[in-house]
Amino acid sequence: MTGLLTTSVGSFPKPEYLLRARTKASKGELSEEGLRALEEKATAEWIHFQEEIGIDIPVDGEQYRGDMATYFAENIDGTEISGLVRSYGNRYYKKPIIVDELRRKGPISVDWFKFAQARTKRPVKGMITGPYTMMDWSFDEFYGSREEACLAFAKLLHQEALSLEAAGAKIVQVDEPALSTRLDELPLLVKAVGTVTKGLRAKTILHTCYGNYNEIFEFFNKLPVDQLDLEMSNSGLDLLDRFKREPLKKEIAFGVVDVHSHVVEPESLIRERIEKALTIFEPEKLYIDPDCGLKTRSVEEAQAKLRNMVAAARAVREAHHLT
């Protein structure tokens, strides 16, 4: 295959049985082993679905995670977890609190990567919440410096990336949704992500979303990764003209379905978006995925969006003789 590989950003919605189980577990009404068995069941179901529709690079769906930052913080020494804090709209998460020197207990996401990879011959992504986002989404009661806290997370996450690679991950994605939070700290983000990806042989990806891409555009080519994964559909593909003027010097994963909308985009619309992307990017450097994680959609919506996305990519490949 020579281009337009399909993938997902990382998270998928949890089935009802798992949502009920997580509630029971939080009340002490279900054992850790019982919850783990249902998380494995949901993960295996999502891997099977991705295989069924023909996604080229599957993800584990993050059925074992609550919030992306909290999950990593819970598995790092030197942190505590707060009560619920508003994220946006009516979404809440438990915010990490840095109370001591950050120390890695051991591999965090490797076991789940291995579980997912064992169920498919296709390359599953290893997925890490990035150091800048970990710092920005945490309360710091120890370091007193955003840079020091960020780089402390980066050193830990570098070890996690190496562990994923050692476990067989050929692709490691660093999620940095907080990338555009403070423009003056973009050099710090570049430094921290570089610490995470240093020396990796695996393909490296940085995913970001929710930002004013025009303001951070000059940093895209400075990011020390092989691929940039961008939310494109929700922003109306308005970056295409700028990419034409200022080419991206790395691969791009191009979001073609809006994860904030209940509307299931028809295959024809997704094909149109892919065709527009092909006017700028070479097909072998263009990957097709949703704008962001799909965990906020229903299972039915997420699956319908992914089915149409894969069908659209397949149709464009055929039209351009890329298979």
Q: What is the pLDDT of residues 87-128, one digit of tens each?
A: 655 566 789 999 999 999 999 999 999 999 999 999 999 999
| Residue 126 counted as domain residue | yes
Place of tokens 């019982």: 34
Share of the chain above pLDDT 70, in %: 96
Domain with 273 in it: what CATH number? 3.20.20.210
Q: Is residue 20 part of a domain?
A: no
- Which residues are within 8 A (CB) of 317 and not within 5 positions of it... i.e. 6 or more apart? 1, 3, 4, 323
Give residue 237's pLDDT: 76
207 CB neighbour count, 10 Å cutoff: 27
Average pLDDT over residues 39-61: 98
The whole-number average pLDDT for the span 136-147 is 96
User: What pLDDT is recorded for position 92?
Assistant: 66
Report the chain's mean pLDDT, rounded to a whole number.
94
In tens, the pLDDT along 251-261 reads: 999 999 999 99
As a whole number, mean pLDDT of residues 34-46 equals 98
Flag whether 157 is in a domain: yes
Q: Is the confidence at residue 234, as pLDDT, over 80? A: no
Does a structural domain hold residue 255? yes
pLDDT at 17: 97
Q: How far apart are CA 197 and CA 225, in angstroms?
A: 7
Q: Which domain holds residue 231?
A: 5-15+54-319
> Percent of the chain, pLDDT > 90?
84
pLDDT-derived band of residue 27, with 50, 70 and 90 as boundaries? Answer: very high
Lowest-pLDDT range of 48-62, 88-102, 254-268, 309-323: 88-102
At residue 185, does pLDDT exceed 70?
yes
In this prediction, residue 268 has a pLDDT band, given cuts at 50, 70 and 90, of: very high
In a domain, 167, yes or no: yes
Q: Which residue has the tokens 């529709």?
A: 53
At residue 259, the 3 state secondary structure works out as: coil
Flag whether 139 is in a domain. yes
Give bridge partners of residue 207 from the DSSP assignment.
175, 229
Q: Poorest-confidence range of 52-61, 65-74, 79-88? A: 79-88
CA dist., res. 139 & res. 136, Å (int): 8
Residue at 29 is within a domain: no
- The span from the CA of 299 to the CA of 2, in Å, is 31
| Residue written as token pair 């992307």 | 277
Report the C-alpha gap between 225 and 232 in whole angstroms.
19
Distance, CA of 207 to CA of 66 (rounded, Å):
19
Across the chain, the runs of DSSP E, i.e. the strands, are 5-6, 76-88, 91-104, 126-129, 139-140, 171-175, 203-208, 227-230, 251-255, 286-289
Contact present, 243 and 280 (Cβ < 8 Å): yes
Residue 179: inside a domain: yes
Per-residue pLDDT tens over the stretch 280-307: 999 999 999 999 999 999 999 999 999 9
128: Cα within 13 Å, side-chain hemisphere: 30
Counted domains in the chain? 1
Angle at which helices 299-319 and 267-278 cross, to 10°? 50
Q: What is the distance between the alpha carbons of residues 299 and 26, in angstroms, rounded to a whole number?
A: 22
The pTM (predicted TM-score) of the whole model is 0.94
